[in-house]
Amino acid sequence: MMIKSINPFSGKKVNSYETHTIQGTNRIISSVDKAFHSWRSTGFQQRAVFMLNLASLLRSKKEELAKLMAIEMGKVMREGVAEIEKCAWVCEYYAQNSETMLENETVETQYSASFVSYQPLGTILAVMPWNFPFWQVFRFLAPTLMAGNTAVLKHASNVPGCALAIEELVREAGFPENVFRTLLVGSSLVEGIIRNPAVKAVSLTGSTPAGRSVAAIAGSELKKCVLELGGSDPYLILKDAALEQSAIVCATSRLLNAGQSCIAAKRFIVVDEVYTHFLEHFTDKMNEARFGDPCDPDITMGPLARTDLRDELHQQVIDSVKKGAEIVLGGEIPNLKGSFYPPTILENVKPGMPAYDDELFGPMASVIRVKDESEAVKVANDTPFGLGAAVFTKNTIAGSRIAELQLDAGCCFVNDFVKSDPRLPFGGIKQSGFGRELSLHGIREFVNAKTVVVK
């Protein structure tokens, strides 16, 4: 059986790869499990040497890797280069901080010694999506390997070239053989991989339905999982917001990666006093996007990753308009080759519409008018998702209070768009998943917090 990667701009086949059989997959997992038993005894300093090598390799190959993303899933070059730089950053961060994060913690008791030791679990499975094909993997890979675990990757089927490139980078950085391996398999084999006794836990970034499925399988095996799922992030524009700057930030968030991001701004909740002026600025900024060949350095937005994803987004727009939403900008599939969708804005968006209720994975913004701050918070929380949220106001004390105490989300920003950072925990609540990636919290997800007592 073969996996094909298709260029979403040209529609042409990039390459095809032979998939691993069930037997081949099990052999790889067995090899990775065997590698764990020696890798776990490797000291932090040696692990850090390999991880810093990996960071250096990423930076030296950032143009090449960005082009691979552009060809396989349509990311524009400038965003691809930035993604690789961020991957290098997370490698450096964990190389420099993991030993301190996982050092033994002494607890004063009546015993002669008592402490908590953080020990690796074994081989961890990563099930990763196509939208950030390097970053999603590296924010898992860096803490997982630095903690002394080994890992196998089941990447999205439309980015096999990226998946294999990551395996080669790890090998080239000097990591021991089989510490990290890519599995070229379809989703039908994921259940068997999770149930493999050598796999100790699973991390998934993907859709909410995929998260439910993986969580059910992992739960039946009593294996831990971390889930980063979908989002419908609300951005609150309060009456004292700096409107033009807020519009720039909001448009940037909505159009990043052609809108294909779990933490992209999706619902723009604007108080009545500034609604008209904000919408004018926001429309102007959304309309500035230049879409075309993602390998062209002057292009700011590429195609969506697949034609079926473009068509699904368009159907969500159509269904919302049928229920009363009004098109401010875009809303029509352009007469261009490639799976493009234009920057689109809908207003008069209400509950019961896909533009209000669902995650829209593309450059489509829902603008919702509310009477005041209190209603803005209520509408923001009126969603099954809880990944990110943002507040725009000149009163940063009030904005911080809303972000901390009133918004139901895992990541809340004031006067900026939501983004992940190696130094801060990242993840969601409600239907956006559970567990955390990055920071101290991320590296401690896949370790055994072991109590040791000496009488």
How many Cα atoms occupy the beta-carbon half-sphere of 326 within 13 Å?
5
pLDDT digits (tens, 9 = 90+) for 412-443: 999 999 999 999 999 999 999 999 999 999 99
Strand pairing partners for 413? 390
Give bridge partners of residue 361 from the DSSP assignment: none
DSSP letter for each residue of 405-440: HT--SSEEEESS-----TTS-B---GGGEES-BSHH
Name the residue among 147, 173, 156 with its Cα closest to residue 52.
173
Beta bridge partners of 228: 205, 433
Annotate 349-386 with b (16+ C-beta within 10 A) or e (fewer): beeebbbbbbbbbbbbbbbbbbeebeebbebbebbebb
112 CB neighbour count, 10 Å cutoff: 8
- Please list the active-site residues: 228, 262
d(CA 153, CA 138): 11
Low-confidence ranges of the chain (pLDDT < 70): none
The confidence score (pLDDT) of residue 1 equals: 81
Q: How high is the pLDDT of residue 316?
A: 98
Packing angle of the helix pair 44-60, 135-146 (nearest 10 deg): 160
Residue 92, token pair as written in the block: 């450096």
> So what's the pLDDT on residue 194?
98
The mean pLDDT value of the chain amounts to 98
